Amino acid sequence: MTTSRSIGVLMIVKNAEQHLEKTLSSVSGWVNELVILDSGSTDNTLAIAQKYTDKVYHQDWLGFGPQRQKAQSYMTSDWVLPLDSDEEVSAELKQAIIHAVNHDDGKSVYQINRLTEAFGKFIRHSGWYPDRVTRLYPRLATQYNDALVHESVVIPAGFKVRQLEGDLFHYTIDSMPNYVSKTQQYMKAWADQREGKKRVTLGGAIAHGFFRFVKMYILKRGFLDGRHGLLLALLSANTTFTRYADLWLREYMKNQQGSK
C-alpha cells in the first residue's frame, strides 16, 4: 500500500544508538523522507542515521518544541510523522497512517496510541495506556509549539483530531540509570519554564508527590501492572516531588540572596 501524498518522518536525537535502528527500520521503505536533527551525539547515532537518510543535520539544543520546529524547517513532505528514537511503528499502525493520508479531508490531524515498555514490560495501566499523542499532521498547516518540555502539536482552527488504529511501541526505560538521565533533563526544563511564574511551598511539593502516587497506583490502577506498577508509581511520585522542590528551592535561594 502506498500513497500519492508524501510522508516525512521528523526526529530529534542525541546519543540514541540503542533503539534507533529499530525505529528507522519500522518506517524504511514506505515513508518518502527522513529528517534527523542531532544535538551533539557522541555514540553511533550519526552512523546509524546516515544508513537510512542523507538528511541528517546538527543543532545545539533549543528545547523540545523549538528543536522540533527546527527539524521541520528542513522537511519538504506533505505530511509530518514525528517519532522519538525509542519508538517503533507497528504493522497495523503503518497501514492506518497510509490509509489516513490517502483519505484525508484536508481538515484533520491524527493521534497515535503509544504502548510503552518500562523495565522489560509493556505497561497497560498506571495512566500509561492508552497514551494518545498527536503525531501525524499536514506540514504546511501546523507545527509543534514553543514549549521547552511537554511540547505538543498546535491544532489549527477548524481542524479535527482523529484517532488511528494500531500501537506505536515505545521502549522508554530499560534501566534505573536510563530513567534518571531521562527525568533529569525533563525536570530541569520543567522548572526553567516555570521559574518566577509559579509559587511553590515545600509542603506543596510533598503533597504533589503523594497525590501523584495515589493517582497513578490507585486511581489509574497501576496495581494491575504488578511490581512494575508499584515501582513506576514510586518513581513518578519522587520525580514530581523533586521538580516542585527544585522550583521552591530556586525561589528560596533567590530571596536569600536578595535579602543580603
Structural domains of the chain, ranges and CATH numbers in brackets:
7-173 (3.90.550.10), 176-258 (no CATH)
In this prediction the pTM is 0.84
Measured CA to CA, the distance from residue 176 to residue 183 in angstroms comes to: 11
How confident is the model over 221-246, as pLDDT tens digits? 999 999 999 999 999 999 999 999 99
Secondary structure class of 135 (helix, strand, coil): strand
103 burial class (0-12, 13-18, 19+ CB within 10 angstroms)? exposed
Average the pLDDT over 41-58 and give the result. Answer: 98
Res 3: pLDDT? 59
**Percent above pLDDT 70 for the chain:** 98
Cβ proximity of 168 and 89 under 8 Å: yes
How confident is the model over 177-207, as pLDDT tens digits? 989 988 887 888 888 888 888 788 999 999 9
**Core vs surface per residue 73-84: b (16+ CB within 10 A) or e:** ebbebbbbbbbb
Tell me phi and psi for residue 117, to 5 degrees.
Answer: -100, 130
- Taking alpha carbons only, the member of 248, 127, 111 closest to residue 166 is 111
DSSP 159: P
Secondary structure class of 232 (helix, strand, coil): helix
CA distances from 214 to 7, 77, 205 (A): 41, 44, 15
